[in-house]
Structure 1
């Protein structure tokens, strides 16, 4: 199990290179208010003074502190001289002629053997991102300390909880600090080391309050009661240390911090630990063996190792799942374009092929939510266009008055004995013209569907215009399906014989009545009196209100029957020819010429570079995903090095 904590340290370094937090690694997070003794607790674990000190917020960036236990210098030198391999040694400190030292990840090639320089580097690196105005930054500083006096341990020191901004700190400094702390302790794989001074009311401890927000049962929380020697005379923290005041599942450990006088006089930490143990023996003899800085270090190391062991199976699964997900994402980005010419040709070819497959209904992916491509074009031809044509009445918008007017206009100054053919052609063309609009709309609908597949715009309506124009150019009364005009006229005549006889019997009487009416009418004309009806040169239209004569009714019905018959012939032809024309001149034309047109328009040397240039966002995302995938692979290898037998 001794290898578990160094393994987590290696994982932290791997994921730090990609700046990702997708893996929640086990760690111990130190939380406490300002002046609660956090720094003294951490320095007692290391056995060295190395943390910045001062008034206000001193820790302004998270400090990830990795403690690595190594063999003493003499033992390491013997091992190296004997060409042996120290199980605790690694290439990271092989050949270092120092008892203990530290390294930073942001300058990992530099070794700090002077711990005062480590403190200075922390302050410098803090000011680099946080400035000099006591502001805070969530970007961690990674410090690794190698020493034979430490136990393998990983801790995260966070800024102290503050209430009132000082100097030029932002007004919401309290909220910023709490948000940062919560972001770390919300990790379910983190243990919370809550530091609270014994000379304050633990019931109002801000550190415990934040810990309870994310760990209400206290299963991940270890309470450290600091400054036991500063309690009022006659009081002690025995009830608290026994867990009778505030129950915490991982335990409660009391420690004695160095005083400010000890720090000013540079009292050695070894001497401070001896004095701490003596104080515990005097005031808490029953708890002396379960309190103090040394016991805290052992407890933290043991808790962290067991916690890592418990988290490791889930961690393995998480790394495996994320590796698969990031591999899929990386594949979706494809490879950067190298051969622009060949790549463009491949894209054009595949695009044209997919377009044609969509029209033909052979696409790889078939939609189930709506019609598209060729299926929608078929629906337009046979449902939308077909229903529209069927709904057009052959005689719609054509009144008997229109028919009589056309007949009279076609006969000229002489009355005709038969229905003139010219009037039929005139009216038939008028009705056939009504088929043009729905035919053109059919073209638009098909074109819109083609645009849904490809943004390829052109004009194909001329051919449909021509279809209607062809029908208008020649009214073929000899069409095999067209009714014989003589037969239609005879049929109408036979139906109206009785009406004609009645008209003849009543004709004389009607003429007499009209004659009397004319004689009683007032004089009219150009100002001279006349017994006859006035002649109005502008009155050339057929009266609207009067009843049609039998002959007029016959002529209208003959024209109506002929128009209806011929219109149905033309409509049938249009309904058949428009889809064929659209398919030939529009759909099939696009299918056959799409690829060559794209190549002709796009395959130009001046356009190749611009067309295939990759957006910066895509390139950056591919790089980030590739880096994350590489980190996950390294993490998987690191975890795989741990044998199951090492976990127990």
Structure 2
């Protein structure tokens, strides 16, 4: 039986030169998949999906030349990787079915195609249990024959709309999750099987494919059961196959596989192919599709092989890039684990002391601003200094903006709250209210600065803990828990101090000499034309602005002095130092 071309001079419908390129490409991906790397890499594949009773199993049966499980309800209960390998040296048929159960490899050698159906059903029962549930575990069926194309397909369960019999109530969601796991990968071509006698727009399989592949770049539609199309609807089917209804970049093909009556009549697969060809030749509507190479199983096999090889060639560079990245990361992870723990009890103690000493040395390095920069481009102190630099800019900006803002604020207060006092006399209550308002505006930025610094310290220490103890889960927890508790405790203390500081700052006070000096400076600046323009404001507004500007400048100066008193961020060093000594 030849399923991939009508010419005897061709093998699988492809010329010899092309065929020599096909097998190595497909073998490469199959060998990668057999190694189990698909857990880490997305390999090129063709996934076959369809609603229940769409004819999906019949298409696979016709392509493989063997009878796969058929029936009503969920027939495919596990992903089935179907490896078809064309051999030309002899006509001996070979089959191997394999799967993994609890990390144990199960393999069955098949000597006759008739054994396949029961072997697949048994494997599904082992993996998915009795009943009609599904499993994500893969079954691999490899077939070597002179009558199959060079092709690898992954058959997925048909989409069930409603749970029946002993199916799980959420069977539809389970199946969709399994299908989506495969077809959402950019490396997967979705082969969507749809009966020709229904409205293609209503099929769930095509909707799912469109969701993950909106442009149809990775989707090929297969129409089945053309003999069941109602009279008068043939033109709609032709338009669909010609990509004029729902467009897909890869387009559509149409096939006619064995139906149940054909099976009852014991029509074998070779005869079914002849019958299919005669059907399309004899149908006035569908004959043009055959002539255009869009109909019959042999032409579908040729098309799929070509699509798969081209897809492999296109995606292999990306797969190689993924592999290199995974390899690099795995090598780093392995290196972090080190050589393991020594077996001798005395050596274990020395090993533990060494690990803790190295950890403490790393923390001391951060405290002295001398940490190793191999895994980071900026020291922690530099990051914290930059945060305090932003805080200084915020204070300077506050003092500068205040001069412009105060005039409007004072004018508003004077307009609405001035009592019987004459112009030019300062209302202390108005002055105090405005000072408190501007003081409160700085409290939230100060708390945010504290949180940002705490996060920088926590990130740094957490990285050091992970880098030293990632291979030792108990040590990791023993180090992390107290560190996080300590950092949180110190954060709470610092937060309380900031709240307390701002609470005190709301009580308006300054040393007489400092305040008087600043007031003189502000008035002199105003008289030289750089401050508030006396000719444009009333005497009371001008006087109030002098006092407010002076006080707020003193206040911001004090906050900046507070920052300087941290002695170049020694607070962060103290946090680390205290932990080092307690460890």
Shorter-normalised TM range: 0.5 to 0.7
Determine whether 1:320 maps to 2:324.
Answer: yes
- Larger RCO: 1 or 2 (CA < 8 Å, sep 6+): 1
In 2, the alpha carbon distance for the partners of 1:147 and 1:173 equals: 36
- Is the Cα–Cα contact under 8 Å of residues 194 and 222 in structure 2 kept in the other structure? yes
In the other structure, the counterpart of 1:334 is 338
Determine whether 1:104 maps to 2:122.
Answer: no
Give 1:68 shift: 1.3
In the other structure, the counterpart of 2:256 is 256
In 1, the alpha carbon distance for the partners of 2:360 and 2:113 equals: 69
> CA RMSD for the aligned pairs?
3.0
In the other structure, the counterpart of 1:348 is 353
The number of aligned residues is 355
Do the aligned partners of residues 453 and 99 (structure 1) sit closer, same or farther apart at CA in structure 2, a change above 3 Å counting? closer
- Is the Cα–Cα contact under 8 Å of residues 33 and 207 in structure 1 kept in the other structure? yes
Pick from 273, 287, 292 the counterpart of residue 285 of structure 1.
287
Determine whether 1:30 maps to 2:24.
Answer: no
Pick from 63, 73, 77 the counterpart of residue 90 of structure 2.
73
Do the aligned partners of residues 134 and 452 (structure 1) sit closer, same or farther apart at CA in structure 2, a change above 3 Å counting? closer
Q: Which moved more, 1:212-221 or 1:7-16?
A: 7-16
Structure 1 residue ranges without an equivalent (≥5): 75-97, 372-450, 456-586, 599-648
In 1, the alpha carbon distance for the partners of 2:150 and 2:354 equals: 60
Give 1:22 shift: 2.0
- Is the Cα–Cα contact under 8 Å of residues 66 and 116 in structure 2 kept in the other structure? no
Structure 1 stretches (4+) deviating beyond 3 angstroms?
A: 105-110, 349-371, 451-455
Within 5 Å, give how 1:526-537 maps onto structure 2. Answer: none
SS of 1:168 mapped into structure 2:
coil
Give 1:109 shift: 5.3
- Is the Cα–Cα contact under 8 Å of residues 355 and 454 in structure 1 kept in the other structure? no
Higher Cα Rg, which structure: 1
Determine whether 1:130 maps to 2:128.
Answer: yes
SS of 1:286 mapped into structure 2:
helix
In 1, the alpha carbon distance for the partners of 2:31 and 2:61 equals: 23
Determine whether 1:116 maps to 2:114.
Answer: yes
In 2, the alpha carbon distance for the partners of 1:44 and 1:453 equals: 60
In the other structure, the counterpart of 1:571 is none
Within 5 Å, give how 1:284-303 maps onto structure 2. Answer: 284-289=286-291, 290=293, 291-303=295-307
Give 1:247 shift: 1.6
Give 1:285 shift: 2.1
Within 5 Å, give how 1:549-564 maps onto structure 2. Answer: none
SS of 2:194 mapped into structure 1:
strand
Determine whether 1:272 maps to 2:293.
Answer: no
Q: Which moved more, 1:143-152 or 1:6-15?
A: 143-152
Structure 2 residue ranges without an equivalent (≥5): 1-20, 383-477, 483-576
Pick from 227, 230, 233 the counterpart of residue 229 of structure 1.
227
In 1, the alpha carbon distance for the partners of 2:362 and 2:329 equals: 31
Q: Deviations over 1:117-155 (max 9, x none)?
A: 222121111111212220111111111111111122111
Within 5 Å, give how 1:462-611 maps onto structure 2. Answer: none
Give 1:170 shift: 1.5
SS of 1:111 mapped into structure 2:
strand
- Is the Cα–Cα contact under 8 Å of residues 69 and 150 in structure 1 kept in the other structure? yes
Give 1:346 shift: 3.6
In 2, the alpha carbon distance for the partners of 1:280 and 1:23 equals: 41
TM-score, length basis structure 1: 0.51
- Is the Cα–Cα contact under 8 Å of residues 102 and 118 in structure 1 kept in the other structure? no
Do the aligned partners of residues 144 and 343 (structure 1) sit closer, same or farther apart at CA in structure 2, a change above 3 Å counting? same
Give 1:177 shift: 1.1
- Is the Cα–Cα contact under 8 Å of residues 70 and 148 in structure 1 kept in the other structure? yes
SS of 1:287 mapped into structure 2:
helix
- Is the Cα–Cα contact under 8 Å of residues 97 and 119 in structure 2 kept in the other structure? no
- Is the Cα–Cα contact under 8 Å of residues 369 and 380 in structure 2 kept in the other structure? no
In the other structure, the counterpart of 2:30 is 9
Determine whether 1:21 maps to 2:23.
Answer: no
TM-score, length basis structure 2: 0.57
Q: Deviations over 1:486-540 (max 9, x none)?
A: xxxxxxxxxxxxxxxxxxxxxxxxxxxxxxxxxxxxxxxxxxxxxxxxxxxxxxx
In the other structure, the counterpart of 2:13 is none
Q: Deviations over 1:369-398 (max 9, x none)?
A: 469xxxxxxxxxxxxxxxxxxxxxxxxxxx
- Is the Cα–Cα contact under 8 Å of residues 6 and 152 in structure 1 kept in the other structure? no
Give 1:293 shift: 0.3
Do the aligned partners of residues 364 and 117 (structure 1) sit closer, same or farther apart at CA in structure 2, a change above 3 Å counting? same
- Is the Cα–Cα contact under 8 Å of residues 341 and 351 in structure 2 kept in the other structure? no
Do the aligned partners of residues 369 and 58 (structure 1) sit closer, same or farther apart at CA in structure 2, a change above 3 Å counting? same
In 1, the alpha carbon distance for the partners of 2:231 and 2:372 equals: 81
